[in-house]
Amino acid sequence: MRPLLLFICVLLTTSLSQCPSKPESDNWIQLFNGKDLTDWSVKITGHPVDDNYGNTFRVEDGKLVVRYDQYKSFDEQYGHIFYKKPFSAYLLAMEYRFVGEQVNGGPGWAIRNSGAMLHGQDPKTMGLKQDFPISMEMQLLGGDGQHERHTANLCTPGTNVVLDGKLFTPHCIDSRSKTYAGDQWVHAEALVLGDSLIKHIVEGDTVLTYTKPQIGGGNVINFAPNQKKDGQLLTGGYISLQSESHPVEFRKVALFDLSPYLGKPSQLAAVLRRLQTRKP
């Protein structure tokens, strides 16, 4: 592990740019195919798996969108749409934007708020009334035109991480990103290397870095006790996108699989250099 740990230290001083629009190898996976929700599974609080209540998650004009036009009130019906299989090491690339107005009954903190859940539990293991999957959330926030609001923050439903060498137990921490207001598209990435390193990247700039993701802490309710094994390192899991009461759109959700290069520091470095230099 020592060569890999040394390599991770090098990674902490570098940043990746946007992923190429055309994959450079078969390791790129277009999680969202631009046509339908094939390969995705929905879990909404209070509803069983694959009950897409209110047609919350749908495809419109080639985008994966979150809508609430069939809701009378939000009623804490937090939702997530999960890709069909788990991953351990990868670069996740997304292009998202917030649109419209928050649905009636949505909490104030959820205005222009969504997220990508990393290393999440299998949706089939979630309790019927569980609000969030046990995971690390790469929180996506849109500016309100008045206040500074960073994006690609970290929130930790049922998890902890190591930040700056210390166990981080509060629920959320801001990144150092710019504020992106209005309906502009934002390019965000998550570099995830098993239970070693996670980096949040916005428009090519690394805005947050942490290590040793693990189960622990609170901020998740109605989970099955056998799913929350505090202290257990998270080496992989499911990726999901949120519905938290504000309409949001994703026009790209793609993943470069890095698992073949774990334990091979020189090859991993070469792949990451190519991802850093190639432009869309």
**Residue 135 is part of a domain; what is its CATH number?**
2.60.120.560
Q: Is residue 101 domain-resident?
A: yes
> Which candidate, 229, 272, 276, places its Cα nearest to that of 8?
272
Find the range with the poorest average confidence among 22-36, 53-67, 134-148: 22-36
Give the model's pLDDT for residue 144: 85
pLDDT band at 26 (very low <50, low <70, confident <90, very high): low
Q: Is residue 22 domain-resident?
A: no
Phi-psi region of 145 (alpha: psi -120 to 50; beta: other; left: phi over 0): left
Q: Is residue 14 domain-resident?
A: no
Q: Is residue 171 domain-resident?
A: yes
Q: Is residue 17 domain-resident?
A: no
Find the range with the poorest average confidence among 173-177, 259-263, 267-271, 276-280: 276-280
Q: Is residue 130 domain-resident?
A: yes
Q: Is residue 209 domain-resident?
A: yes
Helix axes 265-277, 2-11, angle to 10 degrees: 20
The mean per-residue pLDDT over the stretch 34-47 comes to: 97
- Judge whether 181 and 205 are in contact, CB under 8 Å: no
- Identify the residue with better confidence: 275 or 193: 193
Query: 106 is in which domain, residue-wise?
Result: 27-264
Percent of the chain with pLDDT over 70: 89
Q: Is residue 178 domain-resident?
A: yes
Six-digit token string for 151: 């994006």
Please tell me the total count of domains within the chain.
1
**pLDDT tens sequence across 58-74:** 999 999 999 999 999 99
